[in-house]
């Protein structure tokens, strides 16, 4: 079985700036600093980043859920939210309005102020959106009560863990079919909602609806699948390097040998964080996104 979400890997130009921003404003803690080994780079098909510095951060709650930043050169053509792939990282927070005040004078650019989400199925979820120092888009979300049909977490620290990853694709048929075929995961029925930051990114009328679906995973985590506007493009990237911003999402998986889709490289045990001795392997999804599986044993 796929899930829960374990680690999000983000390309970043300045790891010192990242560490300062996330520790000061989110209260995240450093778990490890290491280098990308040649074997790990090969497993991602990113041989050019072998030897790159990495920084692994964890929320103050102590949740086994990590942000891994990898030193990478900027990609000038990258614009947040305008390409296919892992477009946003959704993090559960304790007090959204207090966090908004804290971020007013910070390296996190606020692109969406706190608001109740515009979906018919709930009024219990409020969120704001920011762009972090590496160009990563973060949805910072507070859940005020349980939502029928959704198993959502509550924050155990001021800014807690990633609980949803947002994947932008050409069509829901394409993305839902991939997860169903590869992992046997059903998705929710399509639903329409206003995603303010996506409308701004594509200069669409503010009330334009986006069609989405969700996939429930263990550990109170989800994947949100967004059907992108027709103007969306493939994620611009440097050859042999990670895509800019949110580059890889790592999920726990019960048995890598049960996967019948080809991995980039064969599963291999890795001693360093965030693997801690477990086997891992990476495959490419329907929109070109990188999906890493970390075996749960």
- Distance, in Å, from the CA atom of 69 to the CA atom of 133, rounded to the nearest integer, reads 11
CATH number of the domain encompassing residue 278 = 3.10.180.10
Last residue in a domain, options 227, 256, 271: 227
**Tens digit of each residue's pLDDT (9 = 90 or more) over 181-201:** 999 999 999 999 889 999 999
Q: Do 69 and 104 share a structural domain?
A: no
pLDDT of residue 122: 64
**Tens digit of each residue's pLDDT (9 = 90 or more) over 231-271:** 999 999 999 999 999 999 999 999 999 998 999 999 999 99
CB 246 within 8 A of CB 53: no
Q: Left, alpha or beta for 27 (phi > 0: left; psi -120 to 50: alpha)?
A: left
DSSP single-letter state for residue 147: B
Mean pLDDT is lowest, of 12-26, 31-45, 121-135, 196-210, for 121-135
- Distance, in Å, from the CA atom of 255 to the CA atom of 293, rounded to the nearest integer, reads 9
Average pLDDT over residues 279-294: 98
- Distance, in Å, from the CA atom of 66 to the CA atom of 273, rounded to the nearest integer, reads 9
Q: Which domain holds residue 166?
A: 85-227
Supply φ then ψ for residue 20, to 5 degrees. -65, -45
Q: Do 61 and 8 share a structural domain?
A: yes
CA-atom Rg of the chain in angstroms:
18
Whether the full predicted model's pTM is greater than 0.85, yes or no, is yes
Q: What is the domain count for the chain?
A: 2
* Residues contacting residue 193 through CB under 8 Å, at least 6 positions apart: 117, 118, 119, 120, 209, 210, 212
- Distance, in Å, from the CA atom of 89 to the CA atom of 87, rounded to the nearest integer, reads 7
In a domain, 171, yes or no: yes
Give yes or no for residue 120 having a pLDDT over 80: no
DSSP single-letter state for residue 233: B
Give yes or no for residue 6 having a pLDDT over 60: yes
Under the banding of pLDDT at 50, 70 and 90, the label for residue 297 is confident
């Amino acid at each position: 079985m796929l899930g829960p979400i374990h680690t999000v890997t983000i390309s970043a130009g300045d790891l010192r700036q990242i560490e300062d921003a996330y520790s000061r404003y989110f209260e995240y803690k450093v778990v490890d600093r290491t280098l990308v080994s040649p074997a790990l780079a090969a497993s991602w098909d990113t041989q050019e980043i072998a030897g790159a510095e990495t920084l692994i951060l964890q929320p103050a709650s102590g949740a086994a859920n990590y942000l891994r930043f990898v030193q990478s050169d900027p990609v000038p053509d990258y614009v947040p939210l305008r390409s296919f792939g892992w477009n946003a990282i959704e993090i559960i927070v304790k007090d959204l309005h207090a966090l908004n005040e804290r971020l007013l004078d910070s390296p996190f650019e606020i692109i969406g102020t706190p608001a109740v989400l515009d979906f018919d199925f709930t009024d219990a979820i409020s969120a704001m959106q920011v762009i972090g120092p590496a160009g990563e888009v973060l949805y910072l979300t507070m859940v005020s009560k349980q939502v029928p049909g959704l198993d959502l977490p509550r924050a155990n620290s001021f800014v807690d863990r990633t609980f949803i990853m947002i994947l932008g694709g050409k069509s829901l048929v394409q993305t839902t079919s991939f997860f169903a075929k590869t992992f046997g995961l059903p998705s929710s029925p399509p639903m329409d909602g206003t995603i303010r930051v996506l409308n701004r990114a594509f200069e669409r009328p503010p009330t334009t609806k986006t069609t989405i679906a969700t996939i429930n995973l263990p550990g109170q985590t989800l994947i949100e699948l967004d059907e992108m506007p027709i103007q969306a493009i493939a994620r611009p990237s440097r050859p042999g390097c990670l895509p800019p911003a949110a580059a890889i999402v790592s999920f726990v998986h019960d048995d890598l040998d049960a996967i019948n889709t080809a991995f980039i490289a064969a599963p291999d045990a890795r001693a360093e964080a965030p693997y801690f001795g477990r086997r891992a392997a990476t495959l490419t999804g329907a929109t070109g996104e990188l999906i890493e599986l970390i075996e749960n044993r």
